Chains A and B, each alone.
Chain A
Amino acid sequence: MTDSIDSNSSLGFAEQLVCLSVDLHALNSSSQKLLGLSLVQWSVLRKILKSPAISAGTLAEESKIHPSTLTPTLNRLESMGLIYVFERPKDLRRKLIVISRAGFALCLEVEKQIVLIFGAHAPSRALEHISEFVNDSVTEMNRFQRRST
Protein backbone atom coordinates (compact mmCIF):
# COMPACT_ATOMS: atom_id res chain seq x y z
CA MET A 1 0.00 0.00 0.00
CA THR A 2 2.79 2.44 1.03
CA ASP A 3 4.72 1.58 -2.14
CA SER A 4 1.78 2.38 -4.35
CA ILE A 5 1.30 5.73 -2.58
CA ASP A 6 5.02 6.54 -2.85
CA SER A 7 5.01 5.83 -6.55
CA ASN A 8 1.89 7.95 -7.13
CA SER A 9 2.76 10.69 -9.63
CA SER A 10 0.42 13.18 -7.87
CA LEU A 11 2.64 13.13 -4.77
CA GLY A 12 5.72 13.71 -6.87
CA PHE A 13 4.01 16.64 -8.54
CA ALA A 14 2.96 18.06 -5.16
CA GLU A 15 6.61 17.94 -4.05
CA GLN A 16 7.66 19.71 -7.23
CA LEU A 17 5.07 22.40 -6.54
CA VAL A 18 6.59 22.95 -3.09
CA CYS A 19 10.03 23.31 -4.71
CA LEU A 20 8.53 25.77 -7.22
CA SER A 21 7.02 27.79 -4.37
CA VAL A 22 10.43 27.97 -2.63
CA ASP A 23 12.11 28.93 -5.93
CA LEU A 24 9.52 31.64 -6.56
CA HIS A 25 10.13 33.01 -3.09
CA ALA A 26 13.88 33.13 -3.86
CA LEU A 27 13.20 34.81 -7.22
CA ASN A 28 11.01 37.39 -5.48
CA SER A 29 13.78 38.17 -2.96
CA SER A 30 16.44 38.41 -5.68
CA SER A 31 14.22 40.75 -7.66
CA GLN A 32 13.80 42.97 -4.61
CA LYS A 33 17.58 43.12 -4.08
CA LEU A 34 18.46 43.65 -7.74
CA LEU A 35 15.60 45.79 -9.03
CA GLY A 36 14.34 47.51 -5.88
CA LEU A 37 10.95 45.78 -6.12
CA SER A 38 9.86 42.21 -5.54
CA LEU A 39 7.88 40.66 -8.37
CA VAL A 40 4.75 40.82 -6.21
CA GLN A 41 5.33 44.53 -5.49
CA TRP A 42 5.96 45.20 -9.19
CA SER A 43 2.79 43.38 -10.19
CA VAL A 44 0.71 45.40 -7.70
CA LEU A 45 2.37 48.65 -8.83
CA ARG A 46 1.64 47.83 -12.47
CA LYS A 47 -2.05 47.26 -11.67
CA ILE A 48 -2.19 50.62 -9.87
CA LEU A 49 -0.57 52.30 -12.88
CA LYS A 50 -3.09 50.79 -15.27
CA SER A 51 -6.08 51.48 -13.01
CA PRO A 52 -5.60 54.84 -11.34
CA ALA A 53 -7.95 55.56 -8.42
CA ILE A 54 -8.42 51.82 -7.80
CA SER A 55 -9.60 50.79 -4.32
CA ALA A 56 -7.80 48.23 -2.17
CA GLY A 57 -10.72 45.81 -2.48
CA THR A 58 -10.72 45.86 -6.27
CA LEU A 59 -6.94 45.65 -6.33
CA ALA A 60 -7.02 42.52 -4.15
CA GLU A 61 -9.63 41.02 -6.44
CA GLU A 62 -7.78 41.84 -9.66
CA SER A 63 -4.33 40.87 -8.44
CA LYS A 64 -5.65 37.72 -6.72
CA ILE A 65 -3.65 38.65 -3.63
CA HIS A 66 -5.35 38.12 -0.28
CA PRO A 67 -6.21 41.46 1.40
CA SER A 68 -4.13 40.51 4.45
CA THR A 69 -1.08 40.11 2.17
CA LEU A 70 -1.94 43.14 0.08
CA THR A 71 -2.12 45.60 2.99
CA PRO A 72 1.58 45.29 3.97
CA THR A 73 2.56 45.44 0.29
CA LEU A 74 0.62 48.69 -0.13
CA ASN A 75 2.09 50.08 3.08
CA ARG A 76 5.57 49.28 1.82
CA LEU A 77 4.95 50.86 -1.61
CA GLU A 78 3.53 53.95 0.08
CA SER A 79 6.47 54.28 2.46
CA MET A 80 8.81 54.00 -0.54
CA GLY A 81 6.97 56.96 -2.12
CA LEU A 82 5.82 54.86 -5.07
CA ILE A 83 2.08 55.24 -4.49
CA TYR A 84 -0.31 57.60 -2.74
CA VAL A 85 -3.29 56.37 -0.74
CA PHE A 86 -6.07 58.94 -0.30
CA GLU A 87 -9.55 58.95 1.18
CA ARG A 88 -12.01 58.45 -1.68
CA PRO A 89 -14.30 61.46 -1.99
CA LYS A 90 -17.96 60.48 -1.59
CA ASP A 91 -17.10 57.08 -0.06
CA LEU A 92 -14.82 57.17 2.93
CA ARG A 93 -14.98 53.39 3.35
CA ARG A 94 -12.91 52.95 0.21
CA LYS A 95 -9.41 54.23 -0.44
CA LEU A 96 -8.26 55.81 -3.67
CA ILE A 97 -4.83 54.51 -4.68
CA VAL A 98 -2.70 56.16 -7.36
CA ILE A 99 0.86 55.74 -8.58
CA SER A 100 3.39 58.50 -7.96
CA ARG A 101 5.86 59.94 -10.47
CA ALA A 102 8.64 57.93 -8.75
CA GLY A 103 6.50 54.80 -8.85
CA PHE A 104 5.88 55.25 -12.56
CA ALA A 105 9.62 55.66 -13.28
CA LEU A 106 10.58 52.61 -11.19
CA CYS A 107 7.80 50.48 -12.67
CA LEU A 108 9.04 51.18 -16.20
CA GLU A 109 12.67 50.53 -15.21
CA VAL A 110 11.79 47.22 -13.54
CA GLU A 111 9.81 46.15 -16.60
CA LYS A 112 12.81 46.80 -18.85
CA GLN A 113 14.97 44.66 -16.56
CA ILE A 114 12.41 41.86 -16.39
CA VAL A 115 12.26 41.71 -20.19
CA LEU A 116 16.07 41.57 -20.31
CA ILE A 117 16.42 38.91 -17.61
CA PHE A 118 13.55 36.67 -18.64
CA GLY A 119 14.26 37.24 -22.31
CA ALA A 120 12.31 35.34 -24.89
CA HIS A 121 12.45 32.14 -22.89
CA ALA A 122 9.66 32.85 -20.42
CA PRO A 123 7.41 29.77 -20.65
CA SER A 124 4.16 31.66 -20.15
CA ARG A 125 1.91 28.86 -21.40
CA ALA A 126 3.42 26.31 -19.01
CA LEU A 127 2.94 28.70 -16.09
CA GLU A 128 -0.66 29.31 -17.08
CA HIS A 129 -1.34 25.56 -16.87
CA ILE A 130 0.38 25.25 -13.49
CA SER A 131 -1.42 28.33 -12.15
CA GLU A 132 -4.75 26.92 -13.29
CA PHE A 133 -3.93 23.57 -11.67
CA VAL A 134 -2.92 25.21 -8.39
CA ASN A 135 -6.11 27.33 -8.32
CA ASP A 136 -8.25 24.26 -8.97
CA SER A 137 -6.43 22.43 -6.17
CA VAL A 138 -7.08 25.30 -3.75
CA THR A 139 -10.78 25.18 -4.65
CA GLU A 140 -10.80 21.41 -4.13
CA MET A 141 -9.07 21.72 -0.72
CA ASN A 142 -11.58 24.39 0.36
CA ARG A 143 -14.39 22.04 -0.65
CA PHE A 144 -12.88 19.25 1.49
CA GLN A 145 -12.57 21.64 4.38
CA ARG A 146 -16.21 22.69 4.13
CA ARG A 147 -17.34 19.06 3.99
CA SER A 148 -15.35 18.12 7.09
CA THR A 149 -16.65 21.03 9.21
Chain B
Amino acid sequence: MKRLMTDEGLKVLEAFCLTHTLFAFDYDGTLAPICDHPDNAEMRESTRTLLKKLTQYVPVAVISGRKRSDVEQFLPAGIDFIIGNHGVEGLPSGTDTIDTAKNACLQWKSALKKDLINSDDVWLEDKTYSLSLHYRKATDKKKARTQLLEAVSSLTPPPRIVLGKFCINIMPAGAPHKGVALLELMLKSGTRCAVYLGDDDNDEDVFSLSEENLLTIRIENSINSGALYCLNTQLEIDDFLVKVLEFCESHGKPKRMT
Protein backbone atom coordinates (compact mmCIF):
# COMPACT_ATOMS: atom_id res chain seq x y z
CA MET B 1 0.00 0.00 0.00
CA LYS B 2 1.37 3.41 -0.99
CA ARG B 3 0.73 6.76 0.65
CA LEU B 4 -1.74 8.88 -1.31
CA MET B 5 -0.58 12.34 -0.29
CA THR B 6 2.66 12.10 -2.25
CA ASP B 7 3.60 13.45 -5.66
CA GLU B 8 2.76 10.09 -7.27
CA GLY B 9 -0.46 9.52 -5.33
CA LEU B 10 -1.77 12.98 -6.12
CA LYS B 11 -1.07 12.50 -9.83
CA VAL B 12 -3.21 9.35 -9.72
CA LEU B 13 -5.94 11.14 -7.78
CA GLU B 14 -5.94 14.05 -10.24
CA ALA B 15 -6.38 11.65 -13.17
CA PHE B 16 -9.55 10.32 -11.52
CA CYS B 17 -10.79 13.91 -11.16
CA LEU B 18 -10.34 14.46 -14.92
CA THR B 19 -13.02 11.96 -15.85
CA HIS B 20 -16.50 11.11 -14.59
CA THR B 21 -15.86 9.47 -11.26
CA LEU B 22 -18.02 8.51 -8.29
CA PHE B 23 -16.54 9.49 -4.93
CA ALA B 24 -17.67 7.08 -2.21
CA PHE B 25 -16.90 7.11 1.50
CA ASP B 26 -17.39 4.97 4.54
CA TYR B 27 -18.61 7.09 7.47
CA ASP B 28 -17.22 6.05 10.89
CA GLY B 29 -13.45 6.33 11.02
CA THR B 30 -13.33 7.80 7.52
CA LEU B 31 -15.47 10.95 7.28
CA ALA B 32 -15.88 11.10 11.08
CA PRO B 33 -13.32 10.19 13.73
CA ILE B 34 -13.94 7.02 15.75
CA CYS B 35 -15.57 7.87 19.07
CA ASP B 36 -16.75 6.02 22.18
CA HIS B 37 -20.40 5.81 21.19
CA PRO B 38 -21.89 5.77 17.65
CA ASP B 39 -24.38 8.50 18.63
CA ASN B 40 -21.52 10.97 19.04
CA ALA B 41 -19.87 10.33 15.67
CA GLU B 42 -20.10 13.82 14.23
CA MET B 43 -17.87 14.92 11.37
CA ARG B 44 -15.59 17.87 11.99
CA GLU B 45 -17.23 21.06 10.71
CA SER B 46 -14.40 21.49 8.20
CA THR B 47 -15.01 18.00 6.76
CA ARG B 48 -18.74 18.66 6.56
CA THR B 49 -18.21 21.92 4.63
CA LEU B 50 -15.72 20.34 2.22
CA LEU B 51 -17.95 17.31 1.61
CA LYS B 52 -20.96 19.52 0.89
CA LYS B 53 -18.86 21.50 -1.58
CA LEU B 54 -17.70 18.30 -3.27
CA THR B 55 -21.31 17.34 -4.05
CA GLN B 56 -21.46 20.32 -6.44
CA TYR B 57 -18.73 18.82 -8.62
CA VAL B 58 -18.97 15.04 -8.52
CA PRO B 59 -21.46 12.31 -7.62
CA VAL B 60 -20.93 11.44 -3.95
CA ALA B 61 -21.96 8.29 -2.08
CA VAL B 62 -21.71 7.31 1.57
CA ILE B 63 -21.73 3.55 2.17
CA SER B 64 -21.88 2.86 5.88
CA GLY B 65 -22.36 -0.06 8.22
CA ARG B 66 -24.90 2.02 10.12
CA LYS B 67 -28.62 2.05 9.59
CA ARG B 68 -29.35 4.34 6.65
CA SER B 69 -31.47 6.83 8.61
CA ASP B 70 -28.82 6.87 11.33
CA VAL B 71 -25.96 7.87 9.04
CA GLU B 72 -28.15 10.30 7.09
CA GLN B 73 -28.60 12.53 10.16
CA PHE B 74 -24.86 13.22 10.24
CA LEU B 75 -24.50 14.10 6.55
CA PRO B 76 -24.88 17.44 4.77
CA ALA B 77 -27.61 17.84 2.15
CA GLY B 78 -26.74 16.99 -1.43
CA ILE B 79 -25.20 13.52 -1.01
CA ASP B 80 -26.36 11.57 -4.05
CA PHE B 81 -26.45 8.09 -2.55
CA ILE B 82 -26.68 6.99 1.08
CA ILE B 83 -26.38 3.25 1.62
CA GLY B 84 -26.73 1.67 5.05
CA ASN B 85 -26.18 -1.70 6.71
CA HIS B 86 -22.96 -2.49 4.83
CA GLY B 87 -24.70 -2.33 1.43
CA VAL B 88 -27.96 -4.06 2.32
CA GLU B 89 -30.11 -0.94 2.78
CA GLY B 90 -30.77 1.72 0.15
CA LEU B 91 -29.69 -0.03 -3.04
CA PRO B 92 -32.23 0.25 -5.85
CA SER B 93 -31.94 -3.51 -6.50
CA GLY B 94 -32.04 -4.51 -2.85
CA THR B 95 -35.80 -4.78 -2.31
CA ASP B 96 -35.86 -8.59 -2.39
CA THR B 97 -33.05 -9.14 0.06
CA ILE B 98 -34.23 -6.56 2.56
CA ASP B 99 -37.14 -8.62 3.94
CA THR B 100 -34.93 -11.69 4.28
CA ALA B 101 -32.39 -9.60 6.16
CA LYS B 102 -35.03 -8.17 8.49
CA ASN B 103 -36.41 -11.61 9.39
CA ALA B 104 -32.94 -13.06 9.97
CA CYS B 105 -32.05 -10.16 12.28
CA LEU B 106 -35.19 -10.72 14.37
CA GLN B 107 -34.23 -14.40 14.82
CA TRP B 108 -30.62 -13.57 15.67
CA LYS B 109 -31.59 -10.84 18.09
CA SER B 110 -33.85 -13.09 20.13
CA ALA B 111 -31.22 -15.87 20.18
CA LEU B 112 -28.44 -13.48 21.18
CA LYS B 113 -30.46 -11.93 23.97
CA LYS B 114 -30.48 -15.34 25.66
CA ASP B 115 -26.79 -16.13 25.02
CA LEU B 116 -25.22 -12.73 25.18
CA ILE B 117 -23.16 -11.67 28.16
CA ASN B 118 -25.54 -9.44 30.06
CA SER B 119 -23.23 -6.62 31.05
CA ASP B 120 -22.40 -3.00 30.30
CA ASP B 121 -19.30 -4.24 28.48
CA VAL B 122 -21.21 -5.42 25.45
CA TRP B 123 -23.86 -3.55 23.54
CA LEU B 124 -26.07 -4.93 20.78
CA GLU B 125 -26.92 -2.41 18.09
CA ASP B 126 -30.03 -3.39 16.14
CA LYS B 127 -29.86 -1.85 12.67
CA THR B 128 -32.97 -3.72 11.43
CA TYR B 129 -31.13 -5.37 8.50
CA SER B 130 -27.89 -6.23 10.32
CA LEU B 131 -26.68 -6.37 13.92
CA SER B 132 -23.53 -4.97 15.48
CA LEU B 133 -22.12 -6.25 18.74
CA HIS B 134 -19.90 -3.58 20.29
CA TYR B 135 -17.30 -4.48 22.90
CA ARG B 136 -15.28 -1.25 22.96
CA LYS B 137 -16.08 -0.72 26.64
CA ALA B 138 -15.15 -4.25 27.75
CA THR B 139 -12.23 -4.37 30.16
CA ASP B 140 -11.02 -7.65 28.69
CA LYS B 141 -11.65 -7.01 24.97
CA LYS B 142 -10.07 -10.25 23.78
CA LYS B 143 -12.28 -12.35 26.04
CA ALA B 144 -15.40 -10.38 25.06
CA ARG B 145 -14.59 -10.84 21.37
CA THR B 146 -14.11 -14.60 21.74
CA GLN B 147 -17.38 -14.98 23.64
CA LEU B 148 -19.27 -12.94 21.05
CA LEU B 149 -17.78 -14.92 18.17
CA GLU B 150 -18.82 -18.17 19.87
CA ALA B 151 -22.35 -16.83 20.27
CA VAL B 152 -22.74 -15.64 16.66
CA SER B 153 -21.21 -18.78 15.17
CA SER B 154 -24.14 -20.85 16.47
CA LEU B 155 -26.85 -18.59 15.01
CA THR B 156 -29.48 -19.78 12.55
CA PRO B 157 -29.57 -18.95 9.68
CA PRO B 158 -25.77 -18.73 9.67
CA PRO B 159 -24.84 -15.07 9.27
CA ARG B 160 -21.97 -13.46 7.44
CA ILE B 161 -19.59 -12.18 10.12
CA VAL B 162 -17.51 -9.08 9.45
CA LEU B 163 -15.15 -7.81 12.10
CA GLY B 164 -15.03 -4.09 12.78
CA LYS B 165 -13.15 -1.88 15.21
CA PHE B 166 -14.15 -3.36 18.59
CA CYS B 167 -17.37 -4.65 17.11
CA ILE B 168 -18.66 -7.73 15.33
CA ASN B 169 -21.12 -7.17 12.51
CA ILE B 170 -23.50 -9.89 11.43
CA MET B 171 -25.57 -9.75 8.28
CA PRO B 172 -27.36 -12.24 6.03
CA ALA B 173 -25.03 -14.42 3.98
CA GLY B 174 -25.43 -13.66 0.28
CA ALA B 175 -26.82 -10.15 0.85
CA PRO B 176 -25.15 -7.30 -1.09
CA HIS B 177 -21.98 -6.01 0.57
CA LYS B 178 -20.17 -2.70 0.20
CA GLY B 179 -18.35 -3.85 -2.96
CA VAL B 180 -21.59 -4.84 -4.66
CA ALA B 181 -23.15 -1.55 -3.54
CA LEU B 182 -20.33 0.50 -5.02
CA LEU B 183 -20.49 -1.28 -8.38
CA GLU B 184 -24.25 -0.79 -8.54
CA LEU B 185 -23.93 2.91 -7.69
CA MET B 186 -21.35 3.32 -10.47
CA LEU B 187 -23.89 1.95 -12.92
CA LYS B 188 -26.65 4.09 -11.46
CA SER B 189 -24.56 7.27 -11.63
CA GLY B 190 -23.24 6.56 -15.13
CA THR B 191 -19.63 6.69 -13.96
CA ARG B 192 -16.97 4.29 -15.18
CA CYS B 193 -14.62 4.96 -12.30
CA ALA B 194 -14.80 5.35 -8.55
CA VAL B 195 -12.67 6.52 -5.66
CA TYR B 196 -13.49 4.76 -2.38
CA LEU B 197 -12.24 5.59 1.10
CA GLY B 198 -12.71 3.35 4.13
CA ASP B 199 -10.97 2.41 7.34
CA ASP B 200 -12.33 -0.92 8.46
CA ASP B 201 -12.26 -4.65 7.73
CA ASN B 202 -15.75 -4.40 6.21
CA ASP B 203 -14.34 -1.99 3.62
CA GLU B 204 -12.18 -4.84 2.33
CA ASP B 205 -15.26 -5.90 0.34
CA VAL B 206 -14.48 -2.87 -1.80
CA PHE B 207 -10.70 -2.95 -1.48
CA SER B 208 -10.56 -6.54 -2.68
CA LEU B 209 -12.41 -5.81 -5.94
CA SER B 210 -9.88 -6.25 -8.71
CA GLU B 211 -11.37 -3.66 -11.07
CA GLU B 212 -8.70 -1.36 -12.46
CA ASN B 213 -11.08 1.60 -12.56
CA LEU B 214 -11.21 1.86 -8.77
CA LEU B 215 -8.92 4.00 -6.66
CA THR B 216 -9.12 2.44 -3.20
CA ILE B 217 -7.80 4.36 -0.22
CA ARG B 218 -7.56 3.11 3.36
CA ILE B 219 -7.42 5.30 6.42
CA GLU B 220 -4.19 4.20 8.10
CA ASN B 221 -1.75 1.77 6.57
CA SER B 222 -2.36 -1.96 6.93
CA ILE B 223 -0.26 -4.65 5.32
CA ASN B 224 -3.22 -7.02 5.10
CA SER B 225 -5.49 -4.59 3.27
CA GLY B 226 -6.30 -4.85 -0.43
CA ALA B 227 -6.45 -1.05 -0.79
CA LEU B 228 -4.03 0.56 -3.23
CA TYR B 229 -3.27 3.72 -1.27
CA CYS B 230 -3.64 5.02 2.26
CA LEU B 231 -4.05 8.22 4.21
CA ASN B 232 -1.85 8.35 7.32
CA THR B 233 -4.70 9.19 9.71
CA GLN B 234 -8.37 10.15 9.64
CA LEU B 235 -7.25 13.77 10.07
CA GLU B 236 -5.95 13.69 6.48
CA ILE B 237 -9.49 13.36 5.11
CA ASP B 238 -9.75 17.17 4.97
CA ASP B 239 -6.49 17.42 3.00
CA PHE B 240 -7.84 14.79 0.64
CA LEU B 241 -11.09 16.71 0.09
CA VAL B 242 -9.21 19.98 -0.40
CA LYS B 243 -7.07 18.35 -3.09
CA VAL B 244 -10.04 16.84 -4.91
CA LEU B 245 -11.86 20.18 -4.86
CA GLU B 246 -8.73 21.91 -6.12
CA PHE B 247 -8.49 19.47 -9.05
CA CYS B 248 -12.21 19.69 -9.86
CA GLU B 249 -12.21 23.49 -9.72
CA SER B 250 -9.11 23.86 -11.87
CA HIS B 251 -10.49 21.61 -14.58
CA GLY B 252 -14.02 22.96 -14.35
CA LYS B 253 -15.53 19.53 -14.67
CA PRO B 254 -19.29 19.65 -14.30
CA LYS B 255 -21.22 17.07 -12.32
CA ARG B 256 -22.98 14.60 -14.57
CA MET B 257 -25.53 12.01 -13.57
CA THR B 258 -27.56 9.77 -15.80
Chain A residues engaging chain B, CB cutoff 8 angstroms: 49-55, 58, 84, 86, 88-90, 96, 98-101, 104
Contact = CB atoms under 8 A, between A and B. Distances in A.
Given A89-B2, A89-B229, A96-B12, A54 B19 contact: no
Chain B interface SS verdict (over half): mixed
Contact of A58 (B2, B12, B212, B226): B212
B251 to A, nearest CB: 7
Given A89-B2, A96-B12, A53 B215 contact: yes
B8 A86 contact: yes
Q: Which 7 A-B pairs give the minimum distances between C-beta atoms? A: A98-B15, A52-B15, A89-B228, A89-B2, A52-B16, A104-B18, A99-B15
9 contacts: A51-B192, A52-B16, A53-B15, A86-B8, A88-B228, A99-B18, A100-B11, A101-B14, A104-B251
Interface string B9-51: 0011011101101000000000000000000000000000000
B1 A52 contact: no
A interface majority secondary structure: mixed
B200 to A, nearest CB: 18
Query: Which bracket fits the contact residues of B?
Result: 20 to 34
Contacts of A98: 11-12, 14-15
Given A52-B19, A53-B12, 12 more contacts: A52-B12, A52-B15, A52-B16, A52-B18, A52-B215, A53-B215, A54-B213, A98-B11, A98-B14, A99-B18, A100-B15, A104-B251
B213 A51 contact: yes
A7 to B, nearest CB: 50
A86 B13 CA distance: 13
A50 B193 CA distance: 8
A86 B14 contact: no
Most chain A beta carbons < 10 A, residue from B18, B192, B251: B18
